[in-house]
Chains A and B, each alone.
Chain A
Amino acid sequence: MAYSDKVVDHYENPRNVGTLDKSSSEVGTGLVGAPECGDVMRLQIRVNPETNVIEDAKFKTFGCGSAIASSSLATEWVKGKTIDEALTITNTDIVKELALPPVKIHCSVLAEDAIRAAIGDWKKKNNVTETAGVAVAAAH
């Protein structure tokens, strides 16, 4: 199976590899795994508390090329988006962008999970209540 050019590009030049300060209240961390293949992915976001805009994102993934490319792309996409906008990213978007074959769809699922988990962590830290669809920011 051949990887698409975009996967190869992200794999060879991954964007935003690294770590943000986990203890900061502005940072949300998502650690997720795909039991199908044993991959593990950590995605972190730093959110501006005034605007709810994701100003920085970092990832570290142990897994195949597609998993690395999916998380690299995910960090690129969430940057500059608000929390609510970032939540609209789905694994299907990632599959399309990277032209992932069916056997690698779980990698894109993992990346979507990682975004959601990071946002969930940030919300928990900042007492943002979780509601269906719309997130309501509580005063903090």
Chain B
Amino acid sequence: MSQNPETDFFTFFTLPRKLHLDTSALEKAFYTLSRKLHPDRFAAKPLAEQEAALAQSSLLNDAYRTLKDPILRTQYLLTLEGVELEEQSKTATEAARTSGIEKKQIVPPELLEEVFELNMQLQEMRAAKKMGEEEPELRRDLLAAKDAFDARMVETQAELETLWTQWDAALEAGDRDAQTKARDAMVTLLNKRSYLRNLVRDVNEALE
């Protein structure tokens, strides 16, 4: 990407790094800037200016797409705050290896157990389907599980919004400790959420 390294998406829209965000205002700003950066307006301009406008325009699109989505926005903020979501597991494993102390799993063990058990059921269901058998009991279990996980996805969203509020307040107060606390809680929550999301997807597939 040919963006100025100092321009993060929040800065691009002259927004504070807050997570509660007026998405309709964001949309308006996006359309205004889109028009300003439209290639037609630069057709008669020197090539360098055309290219700069194109780069700005692509940054605009990335910034808008990221910030309007609640999860992408949260993930993006966490990255800006130094969290490496993709690397967290590897880093923790390396720490465990050198210290000889057992790695603390990022995801709560109860959730892992649940995920594992549900995956076993899903597998059974798929196998039964392949044999052309209907497993009404299994199907009922999975439907119940689906409802439970759907509900938990909704809960997760509410929990996330609570953490947004904590983050925004800490940012405003300049309270670094509270910011770190909110940041770490968001990481944990997003990790949990990726499991729930996969489960919902897999259960839906199995029920089709």
Which A residues contact B (CB, under 8 angstroms)? Answer: 31-38, 40, 42, 60, 62, 90-91, 105-106, 109-110, 112-113, 116-117, 120, 130-133
Q: How many residues of B contact A (CB 8 A)?
A: 32
Which B residues contact A (CB, under 8 angstroms)? Answer: 85-86, 88-90, 93, 96-97, 99-103, 105-107, 109, 111-113, 115-116, 119, 123, 190-192, 194-195, 197-199
A59 to B36, CA, bound (A): 57
A109 to B93, CA, bound (A): 7
A130 to B99, CA, bound (A): 10
Known contacts being A32-B105, A37-B194, A117-B103, is A106 close to B97, with CB within 8 Å?
A: no
Whether the pair A40, B119 counts as a contact (CB closer than 8 A) is: yes
Q: Please name all residues of chain A whose beta carbon is closer than 8 Å to the beta carbon of B106 when the two chains form the complex.
A: 33, 35
Known contacts being A91-B93, A116-B103, A120-B102, is A33 close to B115, with CB within 8 Å?
A: yes
* Chain A interface helix/strand/loop/mixed: mixed
Distance of A37 from chain B, by nearest CB (Å): 7
A32 to B96, CA, bound (A): 14
The 7 closest A-B pairs by CB, nearest first: A38-B198, A35-B191, A132-B100, A62-B119, A120-B102, A33-B107, A109-B90
Q: Which of A35, A42, A109, A110 has the most CB of B within 10 A?
A: A35
Q: Which residue of B lies closest to A32 (CB)?
A: B105
A131 to B101, CA, bound (A): 7
Q: Please name all residues of chain A whose beta carbon is closer than 8 Å to the beta carbon of B191 when the two chains form the complex.
A: 35
Whether the pair A32, B90 counts as a contact (CB closer than 8 A) is: no
Whether the pair B89, A106 counts as a contact (CB closer than 8 A) is: yes
Whether the pair A132, B195 counts as a contact (CB closer than 8 A) is: no
